[in-house]
Chains A and B, each alone.
Chain A
Amino acid sequence: MPEFLFGAALFILGTIAVGLVRILHSRQAADCMMAAQLIGTGGVAILLLLAVATDAPPVVDVALMLALLAAFASVAFVGGLQGKASAQAEDHRK
Chain B
Amino acid sequence: MAVAFDIGLIVLLVGIGAWMIVVRDVVVATIIFVVYGLLMAIAWVRLSAVDVALTEAAIGSGIAGMLLLGAAARLKGTDASGTRLSFPMTIVAAVLCAVISASLAAVMLLPTHAAPTLAPLAMQNLDQTGLGNPVAAVLFAYRALDTLLEKVVLLLALVGVWSLAPDRAWGGAPSLDNYVPPSDILAFFAQILPPFGIVFAIYMTWTGATNPGGAFQGGTVLAVMWLLVMMAGIMRAPSIGNAWLRWLLVAGPALFLVVGLAGFFIAAGFLAYPPAYAKALIVVVEIALAISIAATLGLLAAGPPERMQ
| Residues in chain A within 8 A of chain B (CB atoms) | 2-4, 6-7, 9-10, 13-14, 16-17, 20, 24, 32, 35-36, 39-40, 43, 46-47, 50, 53, 56, 58-59, 61-62, 64-66, 68-73, 75-84
Contacts and interface: CB of A to CB of B under 8 A. Distances in A.
Given A43-B38, A69-B58, A83 B12 contact: no
Given A43-B41, A61-B211, 17 more contacts: A2-B2, A6-B4, A24-B23, A43-B38, A50-B45, A53-B2, A56-B45, A58-B213, A61-B54, A62-B57, A68-B197, A71-B193, A73-B61, A73-B65, A77-B31, A79-B179, A81-B27
B41 A24 contact: no
Interface centre among A16, A35, A75, A78 (most CB of B within 10 A): A75
Contacts of B42: 43, 46-47, 50
Contact of A65 (B54, B186, B193): B54
Contact of B35 (A20, A71, A75): A20
A69 B8 contact: no
Ranked nearest first, the 4 interchain pairs of A and B with the lowest CB-CB distance are: A80-B69, A79-B180, A69-B62, A6-B1
Interface footprint category on B: 35 or more
Contact of A75 (B2, B8, B45, B180): B180
Given A6-B4, A43-B42, A75-B228, A69 B30 contact: no
B1 A69 contact: no
B12 A73 contact: no
Interface stretch (B70-78, B112-120, B267-275, B289-297): B70-78
Contacts of A81: 27, 31, 73
Interface in B214-229: 217, 221, 224, 227-228
A36 B193 CA distance: 16
Contacts, number: 160
B32 interface: yes
B38 A13 contact: no
A62 B228 contact: no
5 contacts: A43-B38, A61-B207, A65-B221, A78-B180, A79-B179
A14 to B, nearest CB: 7
Interface in B12-28: 12, 15-16, 19, 23, 27-28
Interface string B93-121: 00000000000000000000000000000
Interface centre among A4, A40, A50 (most CB of B within 10 A): A50
B45 A79 contact: no
Interface string B140-161: 0000000000000000000000
A17 to B, nearest CB: 5
A82 to B, nearest CB: 6
Given A46-B42, A73-B62, A65 B57 contact: yes
Contacts of A80: 27, 30-31, 69-70, 72-73
B73 A36 contact: no
B300 to A, nearest CB: 15
B200 interface: yes
